[in-house]
A and B are shown apart, each in its own frame.
Chain A
Amino acid sequence: MTALLEVDDVSLAFGGVVALQGVSFDVREHEVRAIIGPNGAGKSSMLNVINGVYHPQRGTVAFKGRKRRRVDPHDAAAQGIARTFQNIALFRGMSVLDNLMTGRNLKMKRGVFAQALYVGAARREELEHREKVEAIIDFLEIQHVRKTPVGRLPYGLQKRVELGRALAAEPELLLLDEPMAGMNVEEKQDMSRFILDVNDQMGTTVVLIEHDMGVVMDLSDRVVVLDYGRKIADGTPDEVRRDQRVIDAYLGVTH
């Protein structure tokens, strides 16, 4: 298996606050990779570096073998990286359907002027993409709310819509920032199933941040553990679980 994403010696600081310090790891094609760690360990910062929201002061991120130092979020999206956010970032005023259609933004090619006139090709394109989006809506079992403005949906469904919008872009790499935060057990099970199905059926590589240890251990192939911006462990769920440093980081240790 080759590495789809390689994070090499990444350091990131905000003024005097060090968020990441010399973090390196790789993500293989087709795996589910989890990033875990206590609050403030730098997990979200790591995702933000991968999709270009933050630019690290040191180190590189290579996606599909292409090294890059500075990349902007919309470039990352164009290369095939989609993501969801810790605090849901949906287009609240728009319907579920429109949110997902917006996710296909990059797949659509017709120019502004053709669209302004809404003629021929632009219209056909719109319908084509509509089909793909409907398939995702079916997949995520959100048919019943497709026309509802997202702002009115309950939290669990919003999380699902956000996943749907990311999937609509048909990404090669899917970044999920706490996809199950604040969900009840049943919702978590649903979400886990969707993530595994995405990974299985669409072959999408997944990097996810999660707090629920049970979920992480069930879902992921390999786990990176961060603490205070440093990587303290990396391996299969079983290896990580037995690692003394991880146990210390989570349970605290007397110095």
Chain B
Amino acid sequence: MQFFFEVLIGGLLAGVMYSLVALGFVLIFKASGVFNFAQGAMVFFAALTTVGFASMGVPFWLAVALALAVMVALAFATERVVLRPLVNQPQITLFMATIGLSFFIEGIAQLAWGANVRALDLGIADEPIEWLMDRTGMNVSKFDLVASGIAAGLVAVLAVFFNKTRTGRALRAVADDHQAALSVGISLQKIWVIVWMTAGFVALVTGLLWGARNGVQFALTFLALKALPVLILGGLDSVAGAIVAGLIFGASEKLAEVYLGPYVGGGIESWFPYVLALGFLLVRPEGLFGERRIDRV
């Protein structure tokens, strides 16, 4: 039983990290209706930029601040160069544009900082929490716990931002109805910059946490693929969904690996979420918390 809980907690904490990635997608989708394929590339780019600055001898906190500034600049550039010319184009066009954007960002990142795997040390040890180890004998990583704390804080801030502030309302308004949003004096361009800035910020946090765990490397861009089943389960437009689904996947893939793995020769961790998501699609295509579409005929 104790082993079960250990696996469960480890899985949930890993799940928080999936939630973080998915959150970046949800934010942009909620506010602009665009599925931003470039989110994974942005995570990679943000982490690499931080490490890059740090390796130039800049203090770590300044490197993070500089990376944030770069992400803000990226948001402005994206709005100006990619989104503005595509106003009023179908969603699929915007989606294709973000695929292009993702290749571009990957290229720029490696052009600027090189393609080597880099280590990132946040100064949080990835070792068991002794207090918990002594009491219960469970092995829970300190790093995972801190990462979850940071993620939870981020989510709380974003939730307040989206629900309680003018800009948050404006973001939702734009997602709902462009024409109406314009008529109350919301500038689409400004909102899009803010959305991409927020997504860039989330990408930076995600990149730092994942980078510290697995090293800052090109594979970070594939996080986008990890986020897909989370998004399917949680619903593309639900922040709460992204979190819950991330937790479910984190926990289920670890549990499946430990308990089902031996029967099928192991290694199911990497595909189990997709199968789960596929099954889920058959039952509830809009996701756990997604907005159900009801069309009047």
The answer to whether A110 has its CB under 8 Å from any CB of chain B is: yes
Given A91-B176, A93-B291, A118-B160, the answer on whether A110 and B166 have CB atoms closer than 8 Å is yes
- B185: chain A residues within 8 A (beta carbon): 74, 77-78, 105-106, 169
Residues of A that sit less than 8 Å from B by CB: 51, 53, 72-74, 77-78, 82-83, 85, 89-94, 98, 101-106, 108, 110, 112, 115-118, 122, 126, 165-166, 168-169
Could you say which residues of chain A place their CB within 8 Å of the CB of B170?
A: 102, 105
Contacts A104-B166, A122-B165, A166-B183 known; 13 new A-B pairs at CB < 8 A: A53-B179, A73-B183, A78-B185, A82-B184, A90-B180, A91-B180, A91-B181, A94-B169, A98-B169, A116-B165, A126-B165, A166-B184, A169-B184
In the complex, chain B residues 136-155 whose Cβ is within 8 Å of any chain A Cβ: none
Which B residues fall within an 8 A CB radius of A?
157, 160-161, 164-170, 172-173, 175-177, 179-188, 194, 291
Distance in angstroms between the alpha carbons of A53 and B168 in the assembled complex: 24
- With both chains docked as a complex, state the minimum distance between the C-beta of B262 and any C-beta of chain A, in angstroms: 46
How many Å from the CB of B180 to the closest CB on chain A? 4
A85 to B160 Cα, complex, angstroms: 30
- Measured between C-beta atoms, what is the minimum distance from B52 to chain A in Å? 26
**A105 with B184, Cβ < 8 A, contacts A91-B173, A92-B176 known:** yes
Q: Is the CB of B182 within 8 A of A77?
A: yes
3 smallest CB-CB distances across A and B, nearest first, come from A77-B185, A89-B180, A73-B182
Kindly state the separation between the CA atoms of A168 and B173 in the bound complex, as whole angstroms.
15
A43 to B187, CA, bound (A): 26
- Asked if B183 and A102 sit within 8 Å, CB to CB, the answer is no
| Complex contacts, B173 vs chain A, CB 8 Å | 91, 94, 102, 105
Q: In the complex, which residues of chain B have a beta carbon less than 8 angstroms from the beta carbon of A82?
A: 183-184
> Could you tell me if A91 and B172 are in contact, using CB atoms closer than 8 angstroms?
yes
In the assembled complex, the CB of A44 is this many whole angstroms from the nearest CB of chain B, namely: 12
Q: Is the CB of A103 within 8 A of B168?
A: no
Residues of B within 8 A of A115 (CB): 161, 165-168
Shortest beta-carbon distance, B28 to chain A, in Å? 16
Partner of A106, one of B165, B172, B184: B184
* The one of B164, B172, B187 that contacts A94, using a Cβ cutoff of 8 Å: B172
